[in-house]
Amino acid sequence: MTQVIAGNAVHAGSGVSTVLANVAALMAATQPASRVGVIDACLSAPTLHLLFGLPQHAFRHTLNDFLLGTCRLEDAIHPIPVNAASDPAQQLLLIPADPDVTAVTKAARWTTTVEPLATSCLQLAADLDLDFLLLDTEAGLPPSTLAALTAANTALLVLALDKQHYQATARTVAVIDQLPLTRRMMVVNLVSPSLLPDNVQAQVTQSYGWDVAAMAPYCEELGALGSASLFALRYPTHPVTAILRQVAQGLVRGGQELLR
């Protein structure tokens, strides 16, 4: 059974894509490696392909083509090596979205167009025998995010530590709590180094009632990398990579629990 994880945040720029891309790569590159698929369902601002170093001109098909009915979902799969140096066979499967400005503007208006996402990604997960399928969703709860959450059994909510996000996150939590999901986890991101992580974690757990899987500080090296590649693979021994690994391990454990 595939663990389908929908990553979401209430505002763009919280770090959902960064967390998901790194976690996916860690799951696909660690022994025993998992079979991992990643879908960029953030149609209004797709960026996963940048993090995975896949240039736009290399796209054959995208999620947009599938939703518009011009290709099958599997036609949009792009294999991404996660351990090119020592084991080129280790890869994850990415389905990118079309980052072209016209496509993005059009997709931002889609409502019913996105509905096939819910069932087709489950079919894909079964066909490819994936261990994990990660869905990078649109910020907030637009129709595409709701479709992704319908398919998911795990919700991973990234909370950027900013007051603009607090109350909106409470509203998202209230909606997701109504859905029949197996797991709900939160990653608190962009924590100022001047705050005490334990206090923040206790406060967040108390406010939302969800497990806090990890607390990630603001990180200069991550900022300087500018989303141009995967932080966890470039800085394998960095404390932030340890935090990302903690999220990956939390998800893998959750997957094993699902199997039992």
> Which residues of this protein are in contact with another protein, per CB under 8 A?
10-14, 17, 44-45, 47, 50, 99, 101, 104-105, 108-109, 111, 139-143, 160-164, 167-168, 171, 175, 190, 192-195, 218, 220, 223-224, 226-228
Least distance in angstroms from the C-beta of 217 to another protein:
10
Tokens 């497990």 map to which residue? 211
Tell me how far CA of residue 222 lies from CA of 82, 249, 255, in angstroms: 18, 21, 28
- When the beta carbons of 89 and 224 are compared against another protein, the nearer one is 224
Instruction: Please state the closest distance from residue 104 (CB atom) to another protein, in A.
Output: 7
Nearer to another protein, 110 or 122 (CB): 110
In 3-state terms, what secondary structure has residue 175?
Answer: helix
Please say which residue, 69 or 226, places its beta carbon nearer to another protein: 226
Residue 125 beta carbon to another protein: minimum distance, rounded to whole angstroms: 27
Q: At what angle do helices 16-29 and 239-259 cross, to 10 degrees?
A: 70
Residue 174 Cβ vs another protein, minimum distance, rounded to whole Å: 8
Is there a contact between 97 and 62 (Cβ–Cβ < 8 Å)? yes
CB of 32 or CB of 223, closer to another protein: 223
**φ and ψ of 13, to 5 deg:** 85, 10
Query: Distance of alpha carbon 208 from its chain centroid, rounded?
Result: 20
